[in-house]
A and B are shown apart, each in its own frame.
Chain A
Amino acid sequence: SAVISQKPSRDICQRGTSLTIQCQVDSQVTMMFWYRQQPGQSLTLIATANQGSEATYESGFVIDKFPISRPNLTFSTLTVSNMSPEDSSIYLCSAGRQGAGDTQYFGPGTRLTVL
């Protein structure tokens, strides 16, 4: 298993600003992912963070709005840009190996409220 930490754990931000969320894994992993969980909803995959290259975004999510970095095998950041109240969600980072069916372990999440 992997132990994953996220910073910040929560934040309240003003409309139009940006927030960068950090995700740190305690061991080297191949795959890192970012999910969004809107209030009372299930989890939706935003993108796969690729080490040393551009992230792979899912339908409905774009790099300009959610730029992602992954400079090494244990660290990734997600930025929520030009925020609006609709971006209020829990953002979760997960990590796992690339093999089919490998378990993804999740960080504690970042609760974002946009006023």
Chain B
Amino acid sequence: AQKVTQAQTEISVVEKEDVTLDCVYETRDTTYYLFWYKQPPSGELVFLIRRNSFDEQNEISGRYSWNFQKSTSSFNFTITASQVVDSAVYFCALSEDRRNAGNMLTFGGGTRLMVKP
């Protein structure tokens, strides 16, 4: 069975600090996909990034960067120079292909990030 663990339930930082959100996953699949979603207070889930298990290259998008390490089954998310608007709950998720039943996303418990001015 697949499992995603986000050990940090809540993180509080001051604006402009860098912050890293940890994600550790478990799967028996050799091919799998990892995702990060952001859930602001309004409640909608915003897609941030998707990575497949064969691409371990780190990715940077503006102030966001992701570090995928297969050896440690981790897919960590770093926000550089955090801003108040980054305050949200962030979910890491793992995709399992169940053939005709379609993809199943297994979500971690989420990390609530609070950025104070």
Contacts and interface: CB of A to CB of B under 8 A. Distances in A.
Contacts of B43: 90, 108-109, 111
Interface of A: 1, 30-31, 33, 41-45, 48, 56, 90, 92, 94, 96, 98, 100-109, 111
Could you say which interface size class chain B belongs to?
20 to 34
Main secondary structure of the interface of B (DSSP, over half): strand
Interface in B83-112: 91, 95, 97, 101-105, 107-110
B35 to A, nearest CB: 7
Contacts of B101: 48, 56
Contact of A106 (B37, B42, B50): B37
B80 to A, nearest CB: 24
Contact of A45 (B37, B47, B97, B104): B104
A105 B47 contact: yes
Contact of A101 (B37, B44, B46, B95): B95
